[in-house]
Structure 1
Amino acid sequence: MTTVLMVAHGTDGDVAPVIRIGAELQRRGHRVALLTHARYSRRTRAAGIRFVAVDTVAADADSQADGVADLNSIGERTDLAAVRDYYERHGFGAQLRFECRALRRLHRPGETVLVGLSLSCLSVLTAAELLGAPAVCLAASPHHLAVLDRAAAEYAEIFGTGVDLVRAEFGLPGIADWVSWLGSAGTRIGTWPAWFDAAGARAPDGVHLTGFVLGDEDGPAAGPLPEAVTGDAVLVAGSTGALSSARFYRSAVSAAVATGRPVIVATRSPELLPDPLPSGVRWFPHLPFREVVPQVAAVIHHGGIGVSARALVSGTPQLILPSGFDRPDNARRLAAVSLAHWLPQSSWEPDAVLRQLDAVLARGRVTLPQPLSQPIDAVSATADVVDAL
């Protein structure tokens, strides 16, 4: 029996797949613990996984409300001092120290594997050195790996002092080469299929590609869906975090309304929506995408890998309005194999968005061509890689 210690930060698209992978490892007889945000306590425990909160619900909400200076901006921002101030303001050093101590406490010598996300694996990499345990980094999209080398200098400027202070407390030297250190995990897993990898710049050699891990797949059925969920409706879905903008919702809602169809908007950030909402638009803070996405005529979304994969699996036509980080790359890859339409942020004018949405609706349901189908269970395939350690 192996002890698998997992660390995950971010939104549902980041954390939910980790919970599914952890649940599969737990089912196989391993001891699994997950260090993540307090808001995932119930979901983690329901999966049978030991839960360790890295924050409080209030602190998490406060950090999300404090702008968008998070890891999704790495590699793109020029105001690094503002990003560093953001993390210092929200206790980055204290959280890193807490995570490292928790990993050390839960570690069992000779039988522990550490698992983290490629962009937020600072505690996992530090603990791997401290404990001599193997480290696995999970990447949810190709861009998550591609950006690491370019972002190393930014990590050093934003996190360097704080990371070195924590490492010194554990008797570890400061980081001299951030490029090498960020890529130092012995095992790297990309949770996307080979066809998606081939649709753009390929993953580095040695990365295990296991397929899309749908974070919303497990759990009981949602029960009766709202009456607004109909076969002719258009669903507008942004990020579950603070990663979508008011302009995204204005552009998407305007185009959806112009089709004359009923419109459903799912977001936890109603302050970003047009006020008042146009007639025929229904807002929900949360919807069960596993049941809803297959029912609607089309989905307009921000390009997150989770909702992209859900639309693919559901055969639901999708229009992607991506901004920042991996989202444009995800959109370009799907468009390259004719599985989605997309528009860059510079083209989000109402008429342009409407033309793309009309094209998406005219196409109808999407079927993955046989060469693109995913023949393996991505959760099991990912767990197999961890099992091998």
Structure 2
Amino acid sequence: MAEILLLPFGSAGDVFPFIWLGRQLMARGHHVRMITACLFEDNARRAGLDFIPLGEKDEFEAMIRDPRIWQSGIGTKVVFEFAAKSVEPYLAAIESCGQVDLMLAPVTAFAGRLAREKHGIPLITVHLQPAVFVSAYETPLLHPAMRFFNKLPVWLKKRILSLPNPVDLFALPKVRRICAAHGVRPPRSLWREWWDSPDGVLAMFPDWFAAPQPDWPANLLQWTFPLEDLAKEQVLKPELLAFLSSGERPVVFTPGSANVQAARFFAVAAAAVQRIGCRAVFVTREPKQVPQGLPASILTVEYAPFSTLLRHAAVFVHHGGVGTMSQGFAAGVPQLIMAMAHDQPDNAARLERLGAGLGLNVRQFTPERVALELKRLLNDAAIRQAALECAAKVKDAPSRDVLLQWVESHLE
């Protein structure tokens, strides 16, 4: 039995895939502990993982309530500054675990890489979305301006990408100071030296969603979407089941589990569905974001596992997080994305290339436009067929044994 640490960083879409990995590794007899924001302690423990809470709940809540987090470009700065601030408590939690045989962490869990350099613990970097691979061949659409960048020849893109990266401006100075304090040689660049672990890189999305590129790491395993949503622990509530069985398939709306500033999203959603006369389910951890006085054709719930709920949906409207989108793929439901920041614009672009849905930016997300696009998604046979083809691809997943044996091959 090996001692394995999971070090996710971020919202539910970032944490749930690591819960899935933990379930699989525990089933093979390993002792698995998760270190992340205390907000996810109940989720992890209900899945059977040992849990070490990181920081105070108020700290994580303060980050996700910062309105800048959903602004293109600026949101990345907020996340990486918080990631740098979390390095020392993360490292202290890792060091409290004693003997550790393997760590799995995203690039934003800088303490994982620091622990590797300081203690020699093997580390697998886990990338959950293709936007993390800033390739010169297929550069992710992280900003609308990247559409023009992608038209440049590869040699020119390589030169531009060799320039200083903004990530280093956001987090590198603090990380360098912490490294020096722990006797570890500081990286000259997080982007060039710490982005991918030399031990191994795991891409948790399939090649039909993002094909591997020549400049991706050589020590990489690309698998598929983990599709963890805690459905084993949380069934649909009776009120929701009654609503789903009482009429036509609804449109499901969610702005993402970390979005606590979604009042406009739900106001637009309510106006759009009433315009075209369809039913809807609003999913939000903060129901107070939803307009008051909605008709009985719209039901608001705080949480529902999408793997179960989306079986009953006609269309899925969301923010474009890769975990949320992958549930839409698995259900074979046409999707509409309101992309704001981070990996969301790139995920929306990939959805459109697959023909399984449409993407809008925040300015385009108006009652008139959303109503128009919902009509198209409800009635366009080609989009619905493409969505079903995506579901078939998700179902045709590779063997878990391939993934788990690869992970185990990195044990110390």
TM-score, structure 2 normalization: 0.81
Inter-partner Cα distance in structure 2 for 1:164 and 1:282: 49
Residue 258 of structure 2, aligned match among 230, 233, 241: 241
1:127/1:378 Cα in 2 relative to 1: closer, same or farther (>3 Å)? Answer: farther
Residue 124 of structure 2, aligned match among 119, 128, 136: 136
Inter-partner Cα distance in structure 2 for 1:381 and 1:137: 17
Inter-partner Cα distance in structure 2 for 1:243 and 1:152: 33
User: Aligned-pair distance for 1:6?
Assistant: 1.3
Inter-partner Cα distance in structure 2 for 1:139 and 1:117: 6
Inter-partner Cα distance in structure 2 for 1:258 and 1:86: 42
Inter-partner Cα distance in structure 2 for 1:47 and 1:150: 42
SS in 1 for 2:227: coil
Query: What do residues 68-109 of structure 1 show as CA deviations (whole Å, max 9, x unaligned)?
Result: 44xx76x812996xx49974xxx954x32121122223242x
Query: 2:322 corresponds to which residue?
Result: 305
Query: What do residues 287-325 of structure 1 show as CA deviations (whole Å, max 9, x unaligned)?
Result: 232221111222111111112111111122222222212
Query: 1:36 corresponds to which residue?
Result: 36
User: Aligned-pair distance for 1:270?
Assistant: 3.4
Equivalent residue letter for 1:288: P
Inter-partner Cα distance in structure 2 for 1:328 and 1:125: 28
Comparing 295-304 with 357-366, greater Cα deviation is found at 357-366
User: Aligned-pair distance for 1:29?
Assistant: 1.4
Equivalent residue letter for 2:122: P
Q: Within the alignment, does 1:228 sit opposite 2:216 as a pair?
A: no
What is the CA RMSD across the aligned residues, in angstroms?
3.1
Q: Please, which runs of 5 or more residues in structure 1 have no aligned partner?
A: none
Q: Contact 1:142–1:203 at 8 Å: present in 2 too?
A: no
Q: Contact 1:217–1:290 at 8 Å: present in 2 too?
A: no
Equivalent residue letter for 1:209: Q
Matches within 5 A, 1:100-119: 100-108=91-99, 112-118=101-107
Query: 2:404 corresponds to which residue?
Result: 383
Inter-partner Cα distance in structure 2 for 1:79 and 1:370: 31
Inter-partner Cα distance in structure 2 for 1:275 and 1:64: 24
Query: What do residues 179-211 of structure 1 show as CA deviations (whole Å, max 9, x unaligned)?
Result: 22222402111111110013x978724332100
Inter-partner Cα distance in structure 1 for 2:254 and 2:17: 18
SS in 2 for 1:196: coil
SS in 2 for 1:216: coil
Same amino acid, percent of matched pairs: 20
Comparing 16-25 with 60-69, greater Cα deviation is found at 60-69
Inter-partner Cα distance in structure 2 for 1:57 and 1:324: 23
Q: Please, which runs of 5 or more residues in structure 2 have no aligned partner?
A: 135-139, 143-160
Equivalent residue letter for 2:221: H
Q: Contact 2:231–2:307 at 8 Å: present in 1 too?
A: no
Query: What do residues 145-189 of structure 1 show as CA deviations (whole Å, max 9, x unaligned)?
Result: 327978974333322332223222311133323322222402111
Query: 1:77 corresponds to which residue?
Result: 74
Q: Within the alignment, does 1:145 sit opposite 2:160 as a pair?
A: no
Q: Contact 1:190–1:208 at 8 Å: present in 2 too?
A: yes
1:370/1:330 Cα in 2 relative to 1: closer, same or farther (>3 Å)? Answer: closer
Q: Within the alignment, does 1:213 sit opposite 2:213 as a pair?
A: no
Inter-partner Cα distance in structure 1 for 2:328 and 2:174: 40
Inter-partner Cα distance in structure 2 for 1:61 and 1:79: 16
Comparing 365-374 with 325-334, greater Cα deviation is found at 365-374
SS in 1 for 2:351: helix
Matches within 5 A, 1:210-359: 210-216=223-229, 219-220=232-233, 222-225=235-238, 226=240, 227-230=242-245, 231-242=248-259, 245-277=262-294, 280-359=297-376
Matches within 5 A, 1:183-198: 183-186=195-198, 187-198=200-211
1:84/1:269 Cα in 2 relative to 1: closer, same or farther (>3 Å)? Answer: closer
Comparing 329-338 with 360-369, greater Cα deviation is found at 360-369
Q: Contact 2:187–2:193 at 8 Å: present in 1 too?
A: yes
